[in-house]
Amino acid sequence: MQVDWTDAIFSVLRDWQVRQVAYVPDAGHSDLIRRCDAADDMRLVPLTTEEEGIALLAGAWLGDQRGVLLMQSSGVGNCINMLSLARVCRFPLLMLVTMRGQWGEFNPWQVPMGQLTPKVLEASDSLVFSVDDPGQMGQTMEAAARMTFEGPAQAAVLIGQSVIGAKSFGK
């Protein structure tokens, strides 16, 4: 049975009343982005760079709204300085990261940051939850959302390349 992992994520976002969805366009998140865009009670905010999302979600929290940041693992490197904002100000920061540089990666430029992503997030005081089995997505998202929004904490759910599928060049 094929598990619809984006449905599991969307359901948890709805359950936790996430209202703002900050994202840098990414094929791995495309179905989730479409679902959030169709929801009347969610506002999608496209970003030019990932660190803008951290500032946006700080503002959402100050405005009494919950948000989520969608990005690819390469974008985590862009966020290093801004992750200190969430750490020092102790606001809830939930990040969903589609991984590159893992299972079946064709692009060697994606491998270094893909391998460093968990370490960078952990060094930034983020809780890190990796999902390599689509059937585990719902419970992993629920745990991360609870720790983020009730903590408050900063947490990242790393969606493994084995879940989203390896991209290919020219095939």
Burial class (CB in 10 A: 0-12, 13-18, 19+), 167: middle
Over the stretch 136-153, which tens digit does the pLDDT of each residue have?
999 999 999 999 999 999
SS3 content of the chain, % helix, strand, coil (to 5): 55, 20, 25
Neighbours of 10 (CB within 10 A): 21
φ and ψ of 66, to 5 deg:
-100, 150
Residues 6+ apart with CB under 8 A from 133: 163
Q: Has domain 5-110+117-154 been given CATH number 3.20.20.140?
A: no
Q: What is the pLDDT of residues 6-25, one digit of tens each?
A: 999 999 999 999 999 999 99
Mean pLDDT score, 69-93: 94
> pLDDT tens across 26-70, in order?
888 999 999 999 999 999 999 999 999 999 999 999 999 999 999
**Interval 95-143: pLDDT, tens:** 999 988 777 777 778 877 889 999 999 999 999 999 999 999 999 999 9
pLDDT at 92 over 60: yes
Closest of 36, 30, 27 to residue 107, by C-alpha: 27
